[in-house]
A and B are shown apart, each in its own frame.
Chain A
């Protein structure tokens, strides 16, 4: 299965630690998106990246959160100094381009638990 690959699937961090979530897009896809699913809520858009560029970060919290998609390697969502409210499922998605009507494909998610 050459789908969107995310790891780790489950991550536990203590308050104040850093969390790093990785995402490898589908083969041939150069656009990556991160979404967050808080408990009892639907997914919410966080950020859209292309290789080495952040295209749209309108959904990213202003502090502690950052994302990158380097020329080589997976996309990384980094959360510094985690708090309990960061506990959520983080989903990565990818697409080959963003022409209206194209579909984005989601990974299986990374569940972050902050204790």
Chain B
């Protein structure tokens, strides 16, 4: 089955710092790739996605590029804000089964003013 390895947290940054959260995956077929974000006390929200190799997903200043050759989908943001403090989850789907997401353990990001 699929698996995901995410950068171990917690990650603590100062406001306006550059963010990278690494994510590599193993999957059969050609999965779509997703980043979800979970703010304190809330459910998961889709942050961005990419459906095929070399696609770049972007939203709210976050970006991630689907790298098939390295099976990676690293999340980046040029300038983080305090409001970005949350847990970030990388998740490939199961190719033909877009509902069967495999989530990593999550990376806790804390941004200090």
Contacts and interface: CB of A to CB of B under 8 A. Distances in A.
Interface of A: 4, 6, 31, 33, 35, 40-45, 48, 56, 59, 91, 93, 95, 98-109
Interface in B39-55: 42-46, 49, 51
Main SS of the interface on chain B? loop
B70 interface: no
Nearest to A9: B41
Contacts of B96: 100
Given A105-B46, A108-B43, 12 more contacts: A6-B43, A31-B99, A42-B91, A42-B102, A44-B103, A45-B99, A45-B101, A98-B97, A98-B99, A100-B96, A102-B98, A103-B49
Contacts of A95: 98-99
Contacts, number: 67
A4 to B, nearest CB: 8
Contacts of B97: 56, 98
Interface residues of B, number: 26
Contact of A98 (B44, B98, B104): B98
A89 to B, nearest CB: 8
A100 B97 CA distance: 7
B92 to A, nearest CB: 12
